[in-house]
A and B are shown apart, each in its own frame.
Chain A
Amino acid sequence: MADEPKGSRGSLQGIAMAVVIWAIVVLSSLYYVRYGVPELASDRGYLDSLYYVILGITGAAYILYQLALGYVIYRYRGDRPGAESSYWHESHKLELTWTIGTAAIMIPIVFTGLIYWDRVKGPAPEDAVTVMAVGAQFQWDFHYPGADGEFGRFDPTLYAIDNQIGLDETDPAAADDWVLTNQLVIPVNRPTRILMRSKDVQHAIFLPNFRVKQDLVPGMTTEVWFTPVKTGSYEVACAELCGLGHYRMRAFLEVMEEADYRQWLSDNAPAAVADAADPAPEAPSASAE
């Protein structure tokens, strides 16, 4: 037998490696279950289910693989009695098994994911409450179309301290429009459609409790829709680096009972009350220069 590198056969290293890997697996998994996704407040629970299915599959794979790795390191450490290594290095059967096995596990994940993706990305229902989120360094403005359900046109040359979204007041559709800064109010159990645009750089609207995230891209209107199912006040975050104040680009999302929402509307935006009573039949449109 050839000379061994000095000290390389010490059983301590092999046993320690196995024990450390096992300890990491146990501790990391135990702690994982202590941290869950934020409380769900939208109808996107199916995304959570898929998350948990993938967590189950990958978690099992993680635990089994790392346990096996620790085991083979322990079992085949060089100084065990009668240690000998095998020249065996090919098995088409085994290799086919894990190739096909992996594919078999991945295919249902891919397809379920795609089906859910389609559901998320499908067109918003007709009766959705529509709002335009306007992102800017480092502020959110939520532009409501008002009773006519149509957004007044905006013009970037009109951006000003008292007209954050650059609304063109001469447009008849703008007459009943109104804007909330860093606050979005929506009714519960009715689909909400958020159109979005950015005034300056990229932002991303992130509603952690609603499983919603979408980038705001200058020059484009992006959109997302979901149905809130729980009333309450939730935090809105920016998830795309947008500058030195990115970390404090925060807003609040208030989900209200339908009746409270109407009351809130008539208190704060009388011109828009009709909207809540009679959802706009036509999909609102955004116009940009």
Chain B
Amino acid sequence: MEHEKQGFVSKYIFSFDHKMIGKQYFTLAMSMGFIGGILAVLIRLQLGFPSQPWPFLENLFPVGMASGIMTPEFYVSLFTMHGTIMVFFLLSLLPVSGFGNFLIPLQIGARDMAFPFLNMLSFWTVVPGAIIIIISFFVEGGAAASGWTAYPPLSAIRSAIPGSDAGQTLWLVGMIFFVASFTMGGLNFVVTILNLRTKGLRMMRMPLTTWAQFVVGILGLLSFPALAAGALLLTFDRSLGTSFFLPAGIFIGDTLMPHEGGTPLLWQHLFWFLGHPEVYIIMLPAMGFTSDILATFCRRPIFGYRSMVYAIMAIGTLSFLVWGHHMFVSGMSPFLGSLFVVTTLAIAIPSAVKAFNWLFTIARARIQFTSASLFGLGVVSLFVTGGLTGIFLGTNAVDIQLHDTYFVVGHFHFIMAGAGLFGAFGAVYYWYPKMFGRMLSERLGKIHFWITFVAYYAVFFPMHYLGVSGMMRRIYDPNVYEYLQPLQPVNLFITISAFVLFAGQLIFIYNYFASMRTGAPATANPWNAAGLEWSTPPHPGHGNWEGEIPPAHRWPYDYSEPGKKRDFTPQWEA
């Protein structure tokens, strides 16, 4: 198949090449993640040193930090936007849109995604969404300030908090762009995987990364429309005077609101119907990356491939039946709460399958310690830590005390954010040679890993102590409460660790961009990996394979097969 010669615009901007689109997503996601990280640093600054003046910050944030002291409304905007940016624009864009686009055709032996134009369109739909989200910091009243969950009436009534004015409008518009983009992407994933697999690549021969992306595509298609519907209805409530989420009798700022007939719980159902599958949209690709990376660097087949596939499916299916565990104390029917306990705790079973299969992949291995494999091992550790704390929260009777405390913040930063992020880092270290034809610096990669791994535990594990001790989420100054005052040393420790964690990421950003020019040239298969993507040239062009697409003769995990000369047999070799 011939591809036309490309000019600058068609190669780097409106590219149809899935690899270039993937890289565009990387750049966007990393930029957004950098901003999200700065927001996290500011959040921790306030919690570590409550209401302490930092005069130099006034120059950067003349309103939010007038005379250098953070205002409560700015603090609320900070964590709202931190959550929004990290969940959607980093943790969804990087592993799913970024790696999904980059890897699916390479791993299944296709020249491109099924709908290249839709793919380009989906990227250029999310860009305005990201820009709108960033711009919202600079409008009157500041960025949205109702949490990343945007619960009405706080998010619906403009006078409820300064950020609920223009900032919330832009948030909703930005989210609608995001959903549109993500839905196009999901459709493309599913169609591509179902139709464009190379000869011999049966579904049960696909790498677990592609399996995860397949299930994620379906999850995105089914769940994101609920958020789009919710965001649209909320926009109507805000701008057209409808009352989907607003009951009668709301009294804010000495004014009785004219709304009647709606209920805020409807929003929660719509939001979490997306929100929980979203968690697995973030998690499943990380699980896939980890499985592929561990197999390669343990020089061993992934243990229990079949049950890994079934676990991905089971987790994907269950993710649609558990959204109510976010609403145990919301006023939802207690009976409904009980049903959600059963479905939620059922997820422990496929999760345990994952955890033990990884452990048994590492056992009896010959582990090569690269930056990628270190991050892969990090995922296993974080996933187990975060998964276990989920059992407290999924048990509604125990959740009563822990709900909306820092226990929850610690929990999801391990399981979703942590495992998701470590998986993405591992994937970047692993597939970077295929992305840019050069190697990342392993030295910097290892320094990055060690800082990140230790600092990550130092930041997020003590949050469980805070939560158990009763510290609520989203509070600007915990010292208002007497019973929380003794926890200030813990908050200070977390803050200092968070600064270290953030600084460590600068090493990664430098390594990523500098290695594009200065990295050692990569060979076609620098890790001696068995997956089909490594059969492409060192820096594959548009169309991926120069000649025929190789057929798949086997699964991608044939490492250390007895009786073979080499310790791996590539998927494309008979």
Contacts and interface: CB of A to CB of B under 8 A. Distances in A.
B154 interface: yes
Interface string A244-256: 1111101000000
A137 B252 contact: yes
Contact of A65 (B73, B263, B355): B355
Contact of A83 (B334, B366, B392): B366
Contact of A219 (B264, B362, B568): B264
A114 B355 contact: no
A224 to B, nearest CB: 9
If over half of A's interface residues share one DSSP class (helix, strand or loop), that class is named, otherwise mixed; here it is mixed
Contacts of B398: 47, 50-51, 54, 113
B472 A200 contact: no
A175 interface: no
Contacts of B453: 20
Given A66-B384, A85-B365, A89-B305, A199 B263 contact: no
Given A202-B154, A204-B404, A218-B247, A85 B263 contact: no
Interface stretch (B115-123, B200-208, B374-382, B545-553): B374-382
Interface string A209-244: 001111101111010000000000001011111111
Interface stretch (B23-31, B95-103, B145-153, B180-188): B145-153
B72 interface: yes
Interface string B366-403: 11111001100100110011001101100111101101
Interface residues of A, number: 110
Interface stretch (A34-42, A141-149, A263-271): A34-42
Contact of B72 (A47, A200, A245): A245
Given A10-B369, A28-B461, A213-B403, A37 B469 contact: yes
B396 A9 contact: no
A232 B186 CA distance: 56
Contacts of B389: 58
A110 B366 contact: no
B409 to A, nearest CB: 13
A8 B302 CA distance: 20
Given A20-B453, A159-B251, A244-B72, A218 B153 contact: yes
Given A85-B364, A85-B559, A157 B256 contact: yes
Interface in A113-159: 113-114, 116-118, 120-121, 136-137, 156-157, 159
Contacts of B391: 54, 57-58, 106, 109
A241 B147 contact: yes
A68 B306 CA distance: 24
A69 B380 contact: yes
Interface string B330-371: 110010011001100110110011011101111111111110
Nearest to A75: B363
Interface in A1-57: 1-10, 13-14, 16-17, 20-21, 24, 28, 31-32, 34-38, 47, 50-51, 54-55, 57
A214 B300 contact: no
Given A84-B560, A246-B475, A114 B483 contact: no
A85 B264 CA distance: 56
Interface in B255-313: 256, 262-265, 297-307
Contacts of B477: 247-248
B161 to A, nearest CB: 5
Contact of A218 (B250, B330, B356, B482): B250
B573 interface: no
A27 B557 CA distance: 37
Contacts of A83: 366
A109 B160 contact: no
Nearest to B567: A2
Contacts of A87: 300-301, 559-562
A17 B369 contact: yes
B400 A61 contact: no
Contacts of A170: none
A51 B401 contact: yes
B303 A89 contact: yes
Contacts of B341: 110, 113-114, 117
A85 B342 CA distance: 40
Contacts of B561: 87
Given A200-B252, A215-B331, A243-B161, 10 more contacts: A16-B450, A32-B464, A50-B398, A62-B388, A76-B363, A78-B366, A83-B366, A98-B356, A109-B395, A159-B256
10 contacts: A2-B566, A66-B385, A109-B345, A114-B338, A200-B252, A201-B154, A201-B252, A204-B329, A240-B151, A246-B475
